Every structure is written in structure tokens, then in C-alpha cells.
Amino acid sequence: MPRIAVYPGSFDPVTNGHIDIAERGLKLFDKIIIAILHNPGKQSLFTVEERLEMLAESMSDIENIEFDTFDGLLVDYAHKRQASAVLRGMRAVSDFEYEFQLALMNRKLNREVETVFLMTGLRWIFTSSSIIKEAARFGGDISDMVPPSVNLRLKAKFGH
């Protein structure tokens, strides 16, 4: 059986930190499914379709990665996709409490699905999609934190 992990998130937009986690995750898993939560209740900058396009544009050269969307419970999606693990990146201590809650709730909901955390690369420790969007909104240079296609789309979105 291939070892499959779901790497879930909003990816609004994908950052170099996310790509680093996915690439390193592939050392542990045969296949990684990057899955965007389809959440109409949460305001996002990019549509789900745009976010899928950016994932594909920035990781087209990486093998054994698939891009998808999901709604409902993450563990149900993982089960449906025959994934034995959820992959998440962990940055500074501030991520810990939320990630801990998420992992424990997922474990309670389905004990067959394990959560695997990878520490983010030191370079990306203080980057997040939110802070990148904030900087880009006001014309800040975030070109070394996101893939080139995301940089272009952010510029277009904010009219820079």
C-alpha cells in the first residue's frame, strides 16, 4: 500500500514555506495530496480555482503531488482518499496551540489518521499567507517568499 498523506490548508495563497513542507513530506510519504478547504464562510483573497491554479503552477515539476479541494471533515476526506496521515507545518510557538487542538480533535474523530508535523524551514519561520498578503497589499516586496506566479497574481490583485 502506498503511504499517502493529505496536506490540508487554505493556501490563500501558497507560499515558499508550504512548498518546502510538501517537498520534505515527500521524503516520508509516497504521495501527498494538497487539499484546499472549500469554506464559503471564510473570506479569502483568491478563489478556490485561483488557489488550485497557483498550486499547480508552482509545483508542476514535483512528482507524486496531487491538488484537490475538500469540504466537511478533514478526517473523512483523508479516509476517502486512503490517506493514513495529515501533514502540517509548524512554525513558531504561536502555531502550537491551534495545531495541537486540531490534531487531537482529528485523532478523536478518527484514530486511524495520524498527524505528522514538520518544522518549517528556518527561512520561512515568520512567513504566513496572511502577513504576505498584508505586505503585498501595500506594495511590499515579497518576491522571495512566494513562487513567481503567486507574486505576479498578488501584484495584479492589488494593482501594483
The catalytic residues are 18, 42, 91, 129
Checking 63-67 for CB contacts under 8 A at 24+ apart, the result is: 64/26, 64/30, 64/31, 64/32, 65/22, 65/26, 65/31, 65/32, 65/33, 65/34, 66/31, 66/32, 66/33, 66/34, 67/33, 67/34, 67/35, 67/36
* Closest to ligand PNS by CB, 30 or 71: 71
Q: Which of residues 85-114 bind ligand PNS (CB under 6 A)?
A: 102, 105-106
Is 120 a binding residue for ligand PNS by CB under 6 A? The answer is no
The answer to whether 49 and 78 have CB atoms below 8 angstroms apart is: no
Interacting residue with ligand PNS among 8, 13, 25, 89 (CB under 6 A): 8
With contacts defined by CB under 6 A, name the span among 7-15, 110-118, 138-146, 148-156 that binds ligand PNS.
7-15
Nearer to ligand PNS, 92 or 105 (CB): 105
Contacts with ligand PNS by CB under 6 A lie at: 8-10, 37, 73-74, 102, 105-106
